[in-house]
Structure 1
Amino acid sequence: MGLVRISQGKVRDTWSLEKLLGHNDYLLVVATDRISIFDYVLNALIPKKGEVLTALTHFWLNMLSGFENHLIPSELESGYNFAYDLAEDFLFDLPIERCLVVKNLTGKMYPAEMIFRAHIGGSVYPEYQKTGIVAGQQLPIGLPKWSKLEEPIFTPSTKEEFGNDINKDVDYFYSVMESLNLKAEAEEVVLMLKEIYGIVYKYAEDRGILILDSKFEVAGKILADEILTPDSSRFTIIEDWEKSMEEGRDPSFYDKQPIRDWGATVPTPFSDGKGGLITGLNKLKSENPEYLKYIEFAQKVEVPEAVISAASKRYTTIFEMITGDTLEYYQVEKMGALLN
């Protein structure tokens, strides 16, 4: 594209637009179909994944227009992103369906994943089972996994470039923000995000969907990064959630869960320290001295085509349930994409 890539994440590539536009206020973010599980990037692609992440972020941030966000709107067509303008004026082959132009918030992002949970489960559940406490907050004892809480709770985590994010207490989060002279603002941001989560939870619930938990990233009161996608949120269907609570199992998640399930069964050549070998990529922990070997191994594992297809279907299905549009219709009519 003749641009300078300034970062490559697990899924997204970020490009500088300075040479093109003459200023560094905007960035171009391109969502790929790359897939990571348990913080390992696999040598596989999920068809349409990057397109769903892009379109859902565009959808939610337009719906939540009363809250400031990082998207740069088109100057040519109302409702479109500035990526459309780039494709019209400069980058004629730009895949708009994967692209969003955003504010350059370098140095302004909060140093935490802002996670909100309306249901108790996920990475915080083991600690809850032991203590009844989540992120320093006492919850009722004995709640079954994925029980709905009386009200959503805030459970921050660190942002780790490599390895697993680390869950932290709310007090720890505020102490970090206080050290940055941002505690008062952070308290307002948490209230704002809780309000947003309530709005989108009700929207999804009215459409037969539960957003069990969701991760937000912010620069002060500016919503940034992806929002309410299958990669940042845990979606399930109300009917299946109700059955799962009766049956004592996890509900079906509309994200990369088929690949996680498969990944947990992958045999590895690494010792479990008990005379056997580790089974499951989820058991390959980043704190182990062999972590670099774990990464190399994970990148060579071949993901079965049926597993990839199942995951791709879940991404497109949840998109259609949330928006009421097919992915292609939304991309063409509401983003200005020219699909082949």
Structure 2
Amino acid sequence: MKISDIIALGLWPESKKTTSLKGIDELENLGYNLFYIGKNADLYTCPGDESKVLLVRSDRCSVFDIPLNLEIEGKGVSQTAISNNGAKFAKNLGIRTAILDETVDNLKVSSRCQMMELCKPLEAEVDGELVQFELIFRNYLTGSLFEATQNGNDPYGLNLPKDLKEWSKFENPLFTPTTKGVKDIPLNSQKVRELFPEIISSLENLFKQFTQFAYNNGIIVVDTKLEVFVNSKGEWVLGDEVLTPESSRFISKEDFDAQNYISMDKQILRDFGKAQNWKEQAKDLKSGEKLEVNVPQEIKDKILSGYTTILERLN
């Protein structure tokens, strides 16, 4: 299927610019054609007429939506395996994902590849505006939500007690949806539940079940972001980042019990980037440019070690 066919099906947003660059030789020679270069992964059209694409993860890194010149060798392979495990966990609970069972075997890049069903983002009108969604579930009060409660704000209409301390655990996970875009804007939790009652109920159960599974295997799940898409049949499906360190915050149980709240994911890189003022540096970047950063090997090793531990414990 050609990129023009994908666009004609209405399954590719016009806002995402395609590329005419050539991709990996062994894929191009088999009829897979690079058409989109993302911050961390690339997409290829597939031979034949089926509405699917091949996602190939790289070792590239990004934080704060800033593309970096940084690569961490092995990250893409670990991330792909964790993503496959998350998709399998969801499927075992009867939740469809965009990741297809079909694989690309016997290639150097096979361990980085996922065959994906072509889908479009779930959209709905909220307060008179058509929006796409990021559906976030939280087990603990921390991060931006803690800051909001400290400042007396209630961005999701949750009516939380104002005296809650950071890292308070919720008896039931909190649902804190936002819009998906250049800037994620908080949405009223109850309104989004009423829009998609079956979807939110299913995802809430997924989050609860996964939280318990991860806990039993030595990992605390702080929160996760789930993105819902609609396939060509009109069915809702989850995207490729399901219960992964790219979409969730994981802390090893031994660290959490010691009140050492260091996430086993790219939060390590975020914290380093924050200290190095990357957001300010990135303001002068032109379209397509990457921020030149110098990350010590010990930070790279720590990030990769987190991914490896997550894969080992949740496999």
TM-score by length of 2: 0.78
Match of 1:271 in 2: none
Closer/same/farther in 2, CA of residues 200 and 13 from structure 1, 3 Å limit:
same
Unaligned runs of 5+ residues in structure 1 are 74-81, 175-182, 245-249, 267-279, 324-340
* RMSD, matched Cα: 2.5
Q: How does 1:122-271 map to 2 (within 5 A)?
A: 122-131=143-152, 133-160=154-181, 162=182, 164-170=183-189, 173=192, 184=195, 186-219=196-229, 221-244=236-259, 251-266=261-276
Q: 2:103 aligns with which of 47, 61, 83?
A: 83
Q: Is 2:122–2:133's contact at 8 Å kept on the other side of the alignment?
A: no
Do structure 1's residue 299 and structure 2's residue 291 form an aligned pair?
A: yes
Rounded Cα–Cα distance in structure 1 between residues aligned with 2:76 and 2:285: 28
How many residue pairs match? The answer is 272
Q: How does 1:22-41 map to 2 (within 5 A)?
A: 22-41=48-67
Closer/same/farther in 2, CA of residues 107 and 115 from structure 1, 3 Å limit:
closer
Q: Is 1:24–1:104's contact at 8 Å kept on the other side of the alignment?
A: no
Rounded Cα–Cα distance in structure 2 between residues aligned with 1:309 and 1:107: 34
Rounded Cα–Cα distance in structure 1 between residues aligned with 2:72 and 2:263: 16
Q: Which amino acid aligns with 1:7?
A: Y
Q: Is 2:120–2:229's contact at 8 Å kept on the other side of the alignment?
A: no
**How far did 1:296 drift?**
8.7
Match of 2:99 in 1: 71
Match of 2:68 in 1: 42
Q: Which amino acid aligns with 2:141?
A: I
Deviations for 1:31-83, whole angstroms, at most 9, x for unmatched residues? 1111111221211112221112211111122233222222222xxxxxxxx12
Unaligned runs of 5+ residues in structure 2 are 1-26, 125-131, 231-235
Rounded Cα–Cα distance in structure 2 between residues aligned with 1:298 and 1:68: 35
Q: 2:133 aligns with which of 112, 134, 138?
A: 112
Per the alignment, in what secondary structure is the counterpart of residue 113 of structure 1? Answer: strand
Do structure 1's residue 8 and structure 2's residue 37 form an aligned pair?
A: yes
Deviations for 1:190-234, whole angstroms, at most 9, x for unmatched residues? 111101000100101111211100011112531222111111000
Identity %: 29
**How far did 1:107 drift?**
5.5
**How far did 1:317 drift?**
1.3
Match of 2:309 in 1: 317
**How far did 1:173 drift?**
4.5
Per the alignment, in what secondary structure is the counterpart of residue 106 of structure 1? Answer: strand
Deviations for 1:254-300, whole angstroms, at most 9, x for unmatched residues? 0123322221221xxxxxxxxxxxxx225x39xxxx83448899611
Q: Which amino acid aligns with 1:53?
A: Q
- Higher relative helix content: 1
Q: Is 2:141–2:169's contact at 8 Å kept on the other side of the alignment?
A: yes
Rounded Cα–Cα distance in structure 2 between residues aligned with 1:310 and 1:239: 16
Closer/same/farther in 2, CA of residues 298 and 94 from structure 1, 3 Å limit:
closer
Per the alignment, in what secondary structure is the counterpart of residue 83 of structure 1? Answer: coil
Q: Which amino acid aligns with 1:14?
A: L
